[in-house]
Amino acid sequence: MEHPIAFYTPDLSIGGIGKMRVHLMRELVKRGYKVDLIIQDLSSPLLKRLPSDVFIHRVKTTHSLWSIPGLAQHLISRRPVGIITDRLRLNAGVYRTAVLTGKRPRLILSFHNPISVKLASFNEARRRKYLGKLRAALERNYRIVAVSNGVARDLMEHAGYPSEKITVVHNPVIVPEMDTMAEEPVDHPFYKEGIPVVVTAARMTEQKDFDTLLKAFRGVRDQMECRLVILGKKGRYYSSIVDLIRNLRLETDVAMLGFQLNPYKFISKASVFVLSSRWEGFGNVLVEALSVGTPVIATDCPVGPREILEGGRLGRLVPVGDVEEMKRALIEAISSPLKMDTLKQSVAKYKVEVSADGYLKALGIA
């Protein structure tokens, strides 16, 4: 294809969305498509995983108005066939630039979390303003992509989006190199003790509800020998998490290992993976855990875990914020794990190839 497919983002954050973007760009390049990345912040280590064929255009700002000169340069010189964004502000900036330059790439706006969570935190004035932005986005985009059926339903219910304008494209979680990465050795004492290891991977934010997980783990630890490994970028709640670990007297039983470029080796060798979120749009790490054969526990939060775990068939679902149920599920998962083959076979639909097909179809290319 002569013209590239462009991705526009402030940064490749080292959370789930950034990783998924890298997976998708790699797959498109592998298929012979030209790929552009329009980005402001080049500090992410995930950039090292991009193929050299990806054209990177650094912009000074992603403000919806001040970004227009940089975006105009890209639209005129590169003439992308489509531009994929996941933020309303960026999407609006691209649209304004397209109108001013006369270059009209097909715009895709992807939603990774339920908008109802954000709406619930707004007062009435902010709520009306945000809904107005959502309605404007519907008009200017070629397609709206939702990363799960739950996010799609949320958009229809709370933003009034028609189902025919929404395409559900699951995140490109599973990549060919995952199995090899999962087999790499782990050099950490917890994995050498011969006792159960519980692992979680999440940004240290209020959304991920580490309080419930740590309190539940304290209860499990009172009944059996086990360890907890926390993977993920330090967030604004890091210090409060450290304080809670200290207050629960878990300093020797919990290891906080930070962000890992290869989390799969830690997850694959754990007894159980836990996600204790208050809400999710999808839950990439659940798919990653299932794909390497690790039993999963997740809170039954809106909206991703129930969909991924097929209502509890593929893993244990517990109520949000319920310490006792989380403790009980941990003990059961450690004592009676699900079969590895069943877990791995269940997540084929989350392969990067399937996701790439979905985005190409949404762009009207496939």
**Tens of pLDDT along 98-129?**
999 999 999 999 999 999 999 999 999 999 99
Instruction: Please write the tens of the pLDDT for every residue from 18-46.
Output: 999 999 999 999 999 999 999 999 999 99
Percent of the chain with pLDDT over 70: 99
Give the pLDDT mean for 130-151.
96
pLDDT of residue 176: 93
Is it the case that residue 84 has pLDDT exceeding 70? yes
Give yes or no: residues 283 and 305 share one domain.
yes
Give yes or no: residues 48 and 137 share one domain.
yes
Closest CA to 211 of 190, 191, 226, 230: 230
pLDDT of residue 344: 78
Give yes or no: residues 74 and 94 share one domain.
yes
Q: Strand order in 106-111's β-sheet?
A: 55-58, 35-39, 5-9, 82-85, 106-111, 143-146, 166-168
pLDDT of residue 164: 95
Give yes or no: residues 153 and 231 share one domain.
no
Is it the case that residue 199 has pLDDT exceeding 80? yes
Residues sharing a CB contact under 8 Å with residue 4, sequence separation 6 or more, in sequence order: 33, 34, 35, 36, 55, 78, 80, 81
Closest CA to 202 of 173, 245, 244, 237: 237
Mean pLDDT of the chain: 95
What residue numbers bound the domain in which 318 lies?
178-348
pLDDT of residue 14: 66
Instruction: Please write the tens of the pLDDT for every residue from 302-356.
Output: 989 999 999 999 999 999 999 999 999 999 999 987 767 777 778 888 999 999 9
Give yes or no: residues 32 and 168 share one domain.
yes
What's the domain count of the chain?
2
Give yes or no: residues 183 and 310 share one domain.
yes
User: What residue type is assigned to position 337 of the chain?
Assistant: P
Is it the case that residue 2 has pLDDT exceeding 90? no
pLDDT of residue 231: 97
Is it the case that residue 91 has pLDDT exceeding 70? yes
Is it the case that residue 72 has pLDDT exceeding 70? yes
Query: pLDDT band at 234, cuts 50/70/90?
Result: confident
Give yes or no: residues 156 and 266 share one domain.
no
Give yes or no: residues 162 and 185 share one domain.
no
Is it the case that residue 68 has pLDDT exceeding 70? yes
Give yes or no: residues 188 and 141 share one domain.
no
Is it the case that residue 281 has pLDDT exceeding 90? no
Is it the case that residue 225 has pLDDT exceeding 90? yes
pLDDT of residue 120: 94
Give yes or no: residues 203 and 334 share one domain.
yes
| Strand boundaries in the chain, DSSP class E | 5-9, 35-39, 55-58, 82-85, 106-111, 143-146, 166-168, 197-201, 227-231, 254-258, 272-275, 296-299, 316-318
Give yes or no: residues 82 and 197 share one domain.
no
Task: Give the domain CATH number at 196.
Answer: 3.40.50.2000
Give yes or no: residues 158 and 230 share one domain.
no
